[in-house]
Structure 1
Amino acid sequence: MSGRPLSELRRSVTRHRAAAVNTAARDPISNYRIKELHGRLIRSHQCSNSNSMAEVIKHYALSESSLQKSMLAFSKICNPSLPIWNHMIRGLSQSDRPEDALHLFDEMRQRGLRGNNLTFIFVCKACAKIPNILYGKRIHVHVLKMGFGSYLYACNALIHMYGFCGELGFARKVFDEMSERDLVSWNSLICSYSQCGNYDDVLGVFDAMRVENVKADAVTMVKVVLACVHVGETKLVESMMEYIEDNGVEIDVFLGNTLIDVYGKRGSVGSAWNIFERMGKKNVVSWNAMIAAAAKSGDISLAKKLFDETVERDVVTWTCMIAGYAQSNRYEDAVTLFDEMVAAKINPDRVTIATVLSACARLGRLDLGDAVHDYLTRSKIETDIYVENALVDMYSKCGSVEKALAVFRGMKRLDPVSWTAIICGVAVNGDPDRALNLFSEMLRNGVKPIHGTFVGVLLACAHSGLVEKGLSFFDDMRKIYGLVPEMAHYGCVVDLLCRAGDLCKAYEVARSIPVSSDVVVWRMLLSACNLYGDTVLAKIASDKILEVDPCNGVDYVLSSNLYAGVEKWDEVVRMRELVEKGRGNVSRPSGWSSIQIID
């Protein structure tokens, strides 16, 4: 028997089809011949004969679609031979009924058959799939008692079983005690460590493998590349790529997809494209990964070209393209593509819905958001907290606070993002008292606030004129909740103090920001100086703005208007001279507006 099935890993897409699926089971002609044979055996009353039924049982058992037929045919056999028991246990172990494989093994033992090395390989596979470590250890004892402890494939199966069950110590012990190892042995141990998240050990075993001059294959390299990413050694990925090139490792569909995904997430769309072009065989995952890589790099034209060329599109294909539009601020295109997706009768998933709702929020299109919400309700798509949070955020940003609150109050589970979305939404839409009440409710419910929560709370305080309370919340961020204030929080505090007319304190806060100050903070201060006629601080703020962002004409206009208001004409002239001096680089402010036309 081939050792290949023992290197399978629990992945969204299985690395290898089980070698147990024989070619005849997929061949319509062979299917017909097997059925014809089975019919002849039934008519000749040979269907209870073990030897006569062996080929029929093997064919049925190793095909998922006819597994139930194998069970029926098996039940008619009076004294099944060991090969027939093995066919049945093998078929059940690779199906979605691995527990039945263990029951059948027990029945076989009760009938006096002890099994052979192949039997234990199949039972180990079933134990790994469930997983059932106690039964697996019993099988290990049987393996040793029957003298199969030195059999290569049996040991590989034990490593695989222990790894899937999370017993890495036992997996390593079996590996270390093997007198003979093949590539599957190394892959089984590497996959075991990867399965349990022990990525440093994956790299350690790979290093040992290279010392032993064992040449890796695509299965090995998938796990090693992923381990490099997980331990943060992205530079090692290039080293692994060199190993692949130098050793002629075939870039199959699984390794290719992994490399495209890794390069895509790093923004290396060129490297991802090179891998994509080299792949002889591609599946829908390959196209999806390449579309996502192109979109992430900002190359929406390439992403759309790939999307248009994709023959087989699944929900992920559509979602990748929709998300790419959203990431590139092409929200209208994202919504339009969603409409096309629905028209194509592709059912969106929760990720798609959350992405489209985010696009509606950015567009401020309540009508579109309502339509998506209605579609969600009508199609009975199962929602989760991420979709519900997106609904709250969308309704808040579209100004429909009551609908946002209705969704929020109807949620079965609330996380910090849920609370943050509703607090910020209520605060931005001019109801600071309710926002602060919601924050108090959040704390009473034992939910720890996050950075975004305090943005909403500080905005509420600014809109209510609660200076002392706002400053207290700002201090609590670090002292009570261990959150280091970010630029947005400093901006809120400056805004709070400017609204209250405390420009000196606002200036002190702006000056104390530990990171490089955002020009928006100084612009707030300049606007407040304009309102209160504080030319001294205005000059400081203006100089700081022009130092940070000398090309924005809005700032020159703000400063010039302030000086004109207090009749400091020399400063007005200075502002105009600075604009003239920077002619060609200074952008002139222009007014614009937009309207939505409803047909």
Structure 2
Amino acid sequence: MTLYMPLFRLCTTLRAVSQLHAHLFVTGLHRDPSASTKLIESYAQMGTIESAKLVFDHFPNPDSFMWGVLIKCYVWNGFFGGAISLYKKMMCSQAHLTNFIFPSVLRACSGFGDQDIGREVHARIIKCGFESDSVVETSLLSMYGEGGSLDNARQVFDGMSIRDVVSWSSIISSYVQNEQSSEGLRMFSEMIVKGQEPDPITMFAVAEACAELGLLGQAKSVHAYVVRKEIQSNGALDNSLIAMYGKCGDLYSSDVMFDNIIHRTTSSWTAIITCYYQNGCYEEALHAFVEMQESNVQPNVVTMMGILSCCARLYWLREGKSVHCYVIRKAIDPECDLLGPGLIDLYANSGKVKYCQKLFDTAEEKHILLWNMIISGYARKGLSKEALMLFVQMQSLGILLDSFTLGSVLSACGDVCFSQFGLQIHGCIIKTGISNEFTQTSLIDMYSNCGFMDSAYRIFDEDQKRSTVTWNSMICGFSQNGNSVQAITLFDQMHSNCLAMDEVTLLVAVQACSNLGHLEKGKWVHHKIINYGIEKDTYIDTALTDMYAKCGDLEMARRVFDTMSDRNVVSWSAIISGYGMHGEVETAISLFKQMVGSGIKPNEITFMNILFACSHAGYVKEGKSYFRSMMKEFGIIPTSEHYSCMVDLLSRAGDLDEAYRIIRTMPFPADASIWGALLNGCRIYRRTDMVRSIVGDLLDIQTDDTGYYTLLSNIFAEGGDWDEFKMVRSTMRNTGLRKVHGYSAIEVD
């Protein structure tokens, strides 16, 4: 039989193995245990586990080694459940157990995810006296670590008499894979202190730990250790170091590492593309993908996930479609099982909801990721009701929810103020125990959007592990609901407790100062923005411009605006509004012309600001011109606010008949603000005749604006129409409205 062993190594195809099997059968050598064992192994290597099992089944009284080889072959091919079943049959067959069996069985338990069976096998190992075998111990360590049983893994590790580099690597990897990277790094330090030299696999796990913790200094030390100890950097370690620097935000070092790789594989290119994506350098990631194609290196599914995400973040629909075609042409993911969520994200970001639905409907396997992506896609595009209907459909199919599902649904509830459904989702979170930072923050956002600030604050107050995102969510909720004082109070708490702040924290603080008119506090926040080294950000600069303008410091508002390198339509609208509210209409008009000249198209808010400026300065001709150009040149349909500005402009100028004509020709009924603008003009120019002619329209208005009723009653009183005066005042009393007294506010240091 020894003569045939080299022949097995020469069999590289299934046909060759079958021919050798036939020859052994004809010569009767198939009865030799060694021959049958090699046949089992050869068939398994060809991927035909069924043939391997047939050889085993036809062999009388297989020994322990043959059982072990078949179990190992099942594990090779990913049939973990089958491997465990074979182990149980072996136990029933009374076959003699050897230490060779247990590493494969433990690997099967790990792959199958059944810790209970793993513990039973562990008990059998102890009973057989193999618990001191180094290979078995390391397999036990890996099984417990991969299953998340870190206490058991550590117990096995501490009980090992001899700890080699494999066992150290295994325990370090176990901690890192179970989100305890700090403990993994501590174990690495202990390993070095005890004189055990690490290998590339150890350093791979250590690099991953540094990446997860974002420790750039530690990451550089790990890289230096690899270089100093001349640890042979295989491809996996190089790629891990690239990813490590990327997650730590050091793209320069990632680039240097990548440039030093001579033979760049798919994994190398994928690592650098992922680094660019994670750091927001989407265009650089796409450029790297083009270079990868020019280098004739084929991408894999993970590569394409990153590329699709880059196109989605950039809103590059055309390029995204090209990538989609490339995926189809290269058959990278024929069933779109893995790339489906990325494609839905791409089309959802570009507003192509029908494409998303088509991809979802044609997917053969609708897994949780696919459901999550389409629900979040609908929610992001304002199709909240459709998102909630999908969620209901998902639940009716019995698909298990996760935190991302619940967070997306809560976002949809908040957008449409569907608080009752949101309460049910809150109950579901409590019932299922799916509570983490994402769900807690989503609950705060949902309750805030629905106006239930007490509920939002209760969740915030009960959260013992508040992150920066949680604080931001609560501060933003207060600010958006008109509770800017509470928003500033929370911001001050963050600062006094030395908690980490980011761009969003400072942005919301500036907006709260703007709402309150707190100039000195706004300056203090601006000072902190500079001290924290926050990079120039369009959103923050726009908020600062708006804050300074609303607080009366127009010079500082203009200075911030002029230093902005990237101005969008919101930035221009803010500075135009600032000059308009301070009566400097000529400057506001000049800025509007500069904005259009720079190629930025004004939006509804821009026109509302310029019309407001014209209204309060009496620029009737200019106001009419902007109102016409809004529709004819820019295709913007006027809203109630725009009509209100126009009616106010004409009413202030005394052209009440034209103002009334505009109200009558509006495509929708006039609200209290529009009638109020006309009423104010009637009072100024004493047009009681017009008030009498429209009194029916005025009294039909349903509003909680006490100013409207007060103005109307005062007009009736001034004209001596006391019956109408009493009727308006009676309406106010019956609806529970009271005249709001005027007040002034000052800022106290």
TM (normalized to structure 2)?
0.61
* Structure whose alpha-carbon radius of gyration is higher: 2
Do structure 1's residue 160 and structure 2's residue 302 form an aligned pair? yes
Query: Which blocks of at least 5 consecutive residues in structure 2 are unaligned?
Result: 1-75, 79-147, 149-169, 211-218, 247-253, 276-284, 309-322
Distance 1:557 1:453 in 2: 31
1:16-49 residue CA offsets vs partner (Å, 9 max, x unmatched): x9x9983166546853675368x356xxxxx9xx
- Inter-CA distance 344–464: structure 2 relative to 1 (3 Å threshold): same
Q: Which residue of 2 is the match for residue 88 of structure 1?
A: 237
Do structure 1's residue 529 and structure 2's residue 682 form an aligned pair? yes
Amino acid at match of 1:126: A
Amino acid at match of 1:22: S
Query: Does the 8 A contact of 2:682 with 2:691 survive in 1?
Result: yes
Amino acid at match of 1:546: L
Amino acid at match of 2:448: A
Query: Does the 8 A contact of 1:455 with 1:492 survive in 2?
Result: yes
Q: Which residue of 2 is the match for residue 575 of structure 1?
A: 725
Query: Does the 8 A contact of 1:526 with 1:542 survive in 2?
Result: no
Q: Which residue of 1 is the match for residue 579 of structure 2?
A: 426
Deviation at 1:104, TM superposition (A): 8.0
Pick from 72, 75, 90: which aligns with 2:230?
75
Distance 1:176 1:407 in 2: 49
Q: Which residue of 1 is the match for residue 174 of structure 2?
A: 23
Q: Which residue of 2 is the match for residue 585 of structure 1?
A: 735
- Inter-CA distance 594–67: structure 2 relative to 1 (3 Å threshold): same
Distance 1:521 1:560 in 2: 17
Amino acid at match of 2:306: F
Distance 1:203 1:536 in 2: 58
| Aligned residue pairs, count | 530
Pick from 555, 561, 566: which aligns with 1:402?
555
Q: Which residue of 2 is the match for residue 504 of structure 1?
A: 657
Do structure 1's residue 169 and structure 2's residue 325 form an aligned pair? yes
Distance 2:704 2:388 in 1: 41
Distance 2:391 2:678 in 1: 53
Deviates more, 1:158-167 or 1:556-565: 556-565
Query: Which blocks of at least 5 consecutive residues in structure 1 are unaligned?
Result: 4-16, 42-46, 48-52, 78-83, 109-119, 143-156, 179-184
Deviation at 1:232, TM superposition (A): 6.5
Listed as ranges, the matches of 1:223-302 within 5 Å are 223-229=373-379, 234-235=384-385, 237-238=387-388, 240-242=390-392, 244-245=394-395, 249-268=399-418, 269-280=422-433, 282-302=435-455
Deviation at 1:329, TM superposition (A): 0.9
- Inter-CA distance 87–406: structure 2 relative to 1 (3 Å threshold): closer
Q: Which has the higher contact order (CA 8 A, sep 6+)?
A: 1
Q: Which residue of 2 is the match for residue 150 of structure 1?
A: none
- Inter-CA distance 540–555: structure 2 relative to 1 (3 Å threshold): farther
Listed as ranges, the matches of 1:296-311 within 5 Å are 296-311=449-464
Deviation at 1:300, TM superposition (A): 0.8
Q: Which residue of 1 is the match for residue 271 of structure 2?
A: 126
Do structure 1's residue 219 and structure 2's residue 372 form an aligned pair? no
- Inter-CA distance 263–141: structure 2 relative to 1 (3 Å threshold): same
Query: Does the 8 A contact of 2:243 with 2:272 survive in 1?
Result: no
Query: Does the 8 A contact of 1:264 with 1:272 survive in 2?
Result: no
Deviation at 1:292, TM superposition (A): 1.6
Distance 1:309 1:169 in 2: 49
Q: Which residue of 2 is the match for residue 189 of structure 1?
A: 339
Query: Does the 8 A contact of 1:263 with 1:271 survive in 2?
Result: no
Q: Which residue of 2 is the match for residue 153 of structure 1?
A: none
Query: Does the 8 A contact of 2:680 with 2:711 survive in 1?
Result: yes
- Inter-CA distance 543–370: structure 2 relative to 1 (3 Å threshold): farther
Deviation at 1:304, TM superposition (A): 0.9
Distance 1:560 1:242 in 2: 51
- Inter-CA distance 515–187: structure 2 relative to 1 (3 Å threshold): same
Distance 1:138 1:405 in 2: 48
1:339-393 residue CA offsets vs partner (Å, 9 max, x unmatched): 1111121243332223222222222232322332333334443342222221222
Distance 1:60 1:328 in 2: 46
Distance 1:58 1:560 in 2: 79
Query: Does the 8 A contact of 1:467 with 1:500 survive in 2?
Result: yes
Query: Does the 8 A contact of 2:554 with 2:578 survive in 1?
Result: yes
1:535-590 residue CA offsets vs partner (Å, 9 max, x unmatched): 22121343322111487776566455545555xx5x33343256458753374535
- Inter-CA distance 121–70: structure 2 relative to 1 (3 Å threshold): farther
Please state whether the residue corresponding to 1:188 is helix, strand or coil. Answer: coil
Q: Which residue of 1 is the match for residue 631 of structure 2?
A: 478
Query: Does the 8 A contact of 1:353 with 1:372 survive in 2?
Result: yes
TM (normalized to structure 1)?
0.74
Deviates more, 1:277-286 or 1:53-62: 53-62
- Inter-CA distance 54–350: structure 2 relative to 1 (3 Å threshold): closer
1:457-510 residue CA offsets vs partner (Å, 9 max, x unmatched): 333333443322322222222122222222222222222222222222222122
Task: Kindly report the root-mean-square deviation, in angstroms, between the aligned alpha carbons of the 2 structures.
Answer: 4.1
Query: Does the 8 A contact of 1:62 with 1:90 survive in 2?
Result: no
Query: Does the 8 A contact of 2:672 with 2:703 survive in 1?
Result: no
Q: Which residue of 1 is the match for residue 746 of structure 2?
A: 596
Please state whether the residue corresponding to 2:566 is helix, strand or coil. Answer: coil
Distance 1:356 1:230 in 2: 25
Query: Does the 8 A contact of 2:514 with 2:550 survive in 1?
Result: yes
Deviation at 1:87, TM superposition (A): 4.5
Do structure 1's residue 493 and structure 2's residue 650 form an aligned pair? no
Amino acid at match of 1:376: I
